[in-house]
Amino acid sequence: MLKIEDLHVSIKDREILKGVNLEVKAGEVHAIMGPNGTGKSTLASAIAGKSGYEVTQGNIWFKGKNLLDLSIEDRAREGVFIGFQYPVEIPGVSIANFMRTALNEVRKYRGLDPLNGAQFLKLMAEKQKVVELTDKLSTRSVNEGFSGGEKKRNEIFQMALLDPYLAVLDETDSGLDIDALRIVANGINHLRGADKSIIVITHYQRLLDYIVPDVVHVLFDGKIVMSGPKELALELEKRGYDWIKEEYEQGKL
């Protein structure tokens, strides 16, 4: 599904990612953990294609195509979804209009007919249930005046509608109370399937109680320095990241 090879990314000439290698197979869920400022969000932005994130070396293979050759929108149309840590507010654009435009652009790219209004509304109602969002949602402006939890639920709702092959969720659990966390986790689990892959970027282990990962990676100083089974997340939760830092600095990792 996704194969990242020796990825180096700089922002304004400062190298943030220093050779990331990562392979995520279809059907797998990977968690990427690590302390602040080690490049987790940069990795998500590089996969999305955000301007200002200069890839100086490496490749991002997705279903046989190098994402680095594609525009931001074409990456999304190929089936990559990025769940943002801080989703922007877009006053004046209703969620329904936004998502119908997005979905139909994706369908057009894949050679499918656009959904008409009734078809879209039916699909939207169905996906709203997944994240327990109310009907009022469709007329509201994207993220405008949403609470932190509502913004994250809106991200998962968009993911459910677009039904991507790969979802990269950047700290989707931050700022959520326990109920919102459960709802968001349910939404993510809803996407899981044999032909789908999910990368969960998180600080904390608690989301992983709900979304059990196949592999846990630790990103430190722009590289993946450790990978292991789901138990690694529990260990990180217990011991923190200082021991990783020490071992990394001693050259053990």
Among residues 208, 209, 212, 220, the alpha carbon closest in space to that of 247 is found at 220
Among residues 89, 91, 93, 110, the alpha carbon closest in space to that of 163 is found at 110
Pairwise CA distance, residues 237 & 246, whole Å: 17
Stretch that binds another protein, among 2-10, 18-26, 44-52, 177-185 (CB under 8 A): 44-52
If you ran DSSP here, which 8-state letter would residue 59 be given?
A: E
For residue 6, the cross-strand partners are none
Nearer residue to another protein within complex by CB, 87 or 175: 87
Is 141 a binder of another protein (CB under 8 A)? yes
Per-residue tokens: 189:
């689990």
Is 102 a binder of another protein (CB under 8 A)? yes
Binders in 146-185 for another protein, by CB under 8 A: 158, 162
Is 62 a binder of another protein (CB under 8 A)? no
Nearer residue to another protein within complex by CB, 109 or 243: 109
CB atoms under 10 Å from CB of 65, counted, come to 13
Is 119 a binder of another protein (CB under 8 A)? no
Stretch that binds another protein, among 46-54, 125-133, 174-182, 240-248 (CB under 8 A): 46-54
Greatest Cα pair distance in the chain: 61
Site for another protein, rule CB under 8 A: 48, 50-51, 71-73, 75-77, 81-82, 84, 87-88, 90-93, 97-106, 109, 114, 117, 141-142, 158, 162
